[in-house]
Amino acid sequence: MRQLSEQMGNYNLQSAAAKYEDLAKSLDAEVSLIRGIILNGFATKRAIADTEEEQPE
């Protein structure tokens, strides 16, 4: 997306360049979220339910 943004900028298509840059930023956020899930793990509903059942009341 960033390469496309740069290419559009080179052709003086600023509107298209901005759209591709926005898409690149959006993808960065999604990648960051996925990276965090992979590195830090996450709890699924099933894992939470299993843990709650194991705890004494």
**HEC string for the chain:** CHHHHHHHHHCCCHHHHHHHHHHHHHHHHHHHHHHHHHHHCCCCHHHHHHHHHHCCC
Look at residue 25 in the predicted model and tell me its pLDDT.
Answer: 96
**pTM for this entry:** 0.64
Look at residue 41 in the predicted model and tell me its pLDDT.
Answer: 75
- Which amino acid, residue 19? K
Look at residue 34 in the predicted model and tell me its pLDDT.
Answer: 87
Look at residue 39 in the predicted model and tell me its pLDDT.
Answer: 80
Q: What is the pLDDT of residues 1-57, one digit of tens each?
A: 999 999 999 999 999 999 999 999 999 999 988 888 888 776 555 555 555 555 555
As given in the structure block, the two tokens for residue 5 are 């943004």
